[in-house]
A and B are shown apart, each in its own frame.
Chain A
Amino acid sequence: MLTASWHGLQALLDPTSMLFMSIGVLFGVLIGILPGLGGIAAMALILPFSLSLDPVAALAMLLGAHVATIFGSSITSILFNIPGASKSIALCFDGYPMTQKGEGARALGAAAMASLIGGLIGAIFLTLTLPLMKAIMMALGPPEYFVMALWGLSVIALFSSGSLLKGLTAAGFGLLLSFVGMDPVSATSRYTFGTLFLMDGLDFAVVVIGLFAISEMIKLYITGGSIVKEQKTSEMGNVWTGVRDVFIHWKLVLRSSLLGLFIGALPGVGASIGGIAAYGMAAQTSKTKESFGTGNIEGVIAPEATNAANEGGGLVPTLGFGIPGGESMAILLSAFIVMGITPGRDMLENHMDLVFSIVWIIVVANILTTIGGLLLAKHLVKITTLPSSILIPVLLPVCLVGSYAIKGRIGDVLVAVIFGFIGYIMDKYKYSRADMAIGMVLGLMLERYMHISIKLYGNLFFVTRPVTLILLLVVLSTLFFPFIRSFFSKKQTVDESGVQ
């Protein structure tokens, strides 16, 4: 085991491999910065160039690009409220408010460091627990995925502290939108108004660009000024403060990373859910819950660590069975096959050094990305201090091009603009956009796995399967926790006022 790991590292430390990994990382950060395009686009674009390289160099370039997109996406989420990829949406919830408070550099520093540690923990635990992860993957099925989606939905309670009704309305709107298009179970088209365009549904990445980024441009245009509302020159605006924050919250980082690894190992549970689930977990366990959504550093650290660790988890089904754990893994798999490596049992038995090379690539690519990120953060933050008259003309075209580039359909640009206005109105009247996004991510997953579960195990699947039942009870208890908490805290304030 150790020798295989050493061989894997040796193969990677070859100058050619390192060179191509650096190219991949650079490319990945750039792609990540562009709204809508994430790791999948980066890998698909770089794949043709990698095929003539030797396996380790090719994998270094591909995976390097993929890993780097995570931090690249986080940069724009934090600084401009533009989710560079749909899975970094949770970074907008607290990262952008931090930028507005003048703590953008701190948020970037924390994100870079959390990404590094999350990636490392993901890779190390993947190596140590591969057989265990494989067993978990085999044990959990559609009913459990359904309950997990339900859990994700319960996160909306967090954003609804102002008005529960408004929160539910927003989430309901998100659920409704997720049902637009072809129903995956019965192949019936819904809410398409007879158009073929809507048959493919509303693309989540496009909607999110409108909802968060374009609406922010509208707001900026109306209010004027720049993104940063108050300047903090002192410690709080410093990159290294952010790095330190990660180590202060090391328990959170560890928990989030393990969550990311776990979610990554389950094919069918999307990565965008990972970030949201981590955010919810961070908020529920935090000592400063109230400040979530207004720029809490923990709300940046948790999703970033989860996203980084997710990559390691995605390798479990890919390495274990040759089944891609996600779309990006599908591209990696096709690269494997071209290189003459058969993923699955054969790989685990005969190419263990290559498996370790992959793990090491994730580690080293994370280190490269983080170093680059920490050096760049200070300069990137300066952009947010620019006046809106300069910022909007630059960012708006990037958003529109991004929404076009996702699928190459001009109609998507219109969708993004429409949701820009919807997002602006929602924000103005305090309907949580985060709730809506969560509803949209989880809608199809809930529907899909509920139907599959019923068909496989009958209408009472959540009672008859013990694992499902336990998970469901856990979800219900976390769901009612905020209500119980607010009930008790109200009682307490009543008591206190009674004493006076």
Chain B
Amino acid sequence: MFKKKSLILIFAILLIMSLVTACGQKAQEPAQKEEVKEQVKEKVKEKDITLIVPNTPGKGMDTYARMIVPYIEKHYPGAKITVKNIVGAGGVIGINQLWQSKPDGLTFAFTSFPSVLLAELSGSEGVQFEATKFTYLGRAATEPRVFAVGGKSEFNSIEDLAKAGRPIKFPSQGMDEDFFTAAVMAESMGFELNQITGYEGNADTALAVIKGEGDGHITALGDADPMIKAGDKKPLLMFAPERVAEYPDVPTALEVTTGEGQNFMKVITNMLEVHRSFFGPPGMDPEVTREFRAAVAKALADPELIDKAAKANNPITFMEGERLQQKVDEIAATAEKIKGTLAKALADIK
């Protein structure tokens, strides 16, 4: 009798556990359906909003989104936001869903703008959207990206690359913003590039550069910083609108290029600057857009959030929705220029 009881107990625990995990991960889903029902009933005051995050739960982008969401709720009266991670095809599936959703202010997204734009420009499979047509609501964060070589590398400045007389080995994951940035960089500065695609992630390319397998790679300054300080890497170029205070001797991509090359780097710099942003479907109602932008602005200026973000090493660098939209429009006008380079970079690895 007793044995039977303990068996039943074990089963009960197993079942509860699987339920808890399933709910914990995707508690949003059943709630979602109820929301739709409520919308039909036109409960106008309660706004059930879905935030699409086309990135893996628990990783950088998702952490940022979930950190900020409570503060948007706080400053947007009536808003109840559910984060929905729609992963797949490098985020294309999630962004497609945003593109198709109604511009009623009840669906918006948060992710890296460069990867959305580049997916479109490079003609990635399955893309249905036009990145610059979305309604931009505000930037949460951006950080400089750095081109760094290994600590023992023969190169000490960006000019050395052009003088090398051989293709520069660039370990890469392929198809991400750093892959395309490198292609445009090589084109604008006139050095030969050998993109070695197939590395599994940023950690792998970083190690390849430290070991000397590859010459250099592009990564977020925050990631590279400790390795630079330890002498394992040397920074040669920054992708930022102006020099980074901490590294006053490292030039920006805009400084070392001229003419058409500089125009290319402008597109890239602008694009990287938009980085982690909130955006809604195209053609959102101007009134709703204004309200939404104001809420995002207040949320991202909330001292409590800024403090929390700094502690978690996910700093906020806010840019107002309207200015962001202007930046995106600028990018839209010039982005066509780099399309050829992107196509060539892709053709090179095929």
Contacts and interface: CB of A to CB of B under 8 A. Distances in A.
Interface string A10-52: 0000000000000000000011011001000000110100010
A44 B350 contact: no
Interface string B53-97: 000011000000000000000000000000001011110110000
A186 interface: yes
Interface string A188-200: 1100000011011
Most A C-beta atoms less than 10 A away, residue of B57, B90, B207, B313: B207
A456 B92 contact: no
Interface stretch (B5-13, B154-162, B324-332): B5-13
Interface string A419-452: 0000000000000000000000000000111011
B316 to A, nearest CB: 16
Contacts of B3: 382
A407 B87 contact: yes
A397 B313 contact: no
A58 to B, nearest CB: 13
Interface string A138-160: 10011000000000000000000
Contacts of A346: 226, 229-230
A323 B88 CA distance: 25
Contacts, number: 151
Interface residues of A, number: 62
Contacts of B207: 267, 317, 321, 323
A338 interface: yes
Nearest to B24: A45
Contact of B203 (A138, A330, A345, A379): A330
Contacts of B87: 200, 407-409
Interface string B1-43: 0010011001100110111011011100000000000000000
Nearest to B211: A138
Contacts of A334: 313
A197 B88 contact: yes
A194 to B, nearest CB: 8
A275 interface: no
A172 interface: no
Contacts of A128: none
Contacts of A344: 226-227, 230, 232
Interface stretch (B181-189, B191-199, B259-267, B288-296): B191-199
A167 interface: no
Contact of A185 (B58, B198, B226): B198
B125 interface: yes
B350 A186 contact: yes
Interface in B194-212: 194, 196-200, 203-204, 206-208, 210-211
A379 B226 contact: no
Most B C-beta atoms less than 10 A away, residue of A138, A200, A455: A455
A342 interface: yes
B22 A404 contact: yes
A379 B226 CA distance: 49
Contact of B349 (A182, A187, A317): A187
A337 B313 contact: yes
A2 interface: no
B10 A196 contact: no
A404 B197 CA distance: 31
B22 A401 contact: yes
A338 B208 CA distance: 26
A331 to B, nearest CB: 8
A324 B223 CA distance: 11
19 contacts: A141-B208, A184-B197, A185-B174, A187-B175, A196-B126, A199-B89, A321-B232, A323-B206, A323-B210, A337-B313, A345-B230, A346-B226, A379-B6, A382-B7, A383-B11, A401-B19, A405-B25, A405-B26, A409-B88
Interface of A: 30-31, 33-34, 37, 44-45, 47, 51, 138, 141-142, 182, 184-189, 196-197, 199-200, 267-268, 317, 321-324, 330-331, 334, 337-338, 342-346, 379-380, 382-383, 386, 394, 397-398, 401-402, 404-405, 407-409, 447-449, 451-452, 455-456
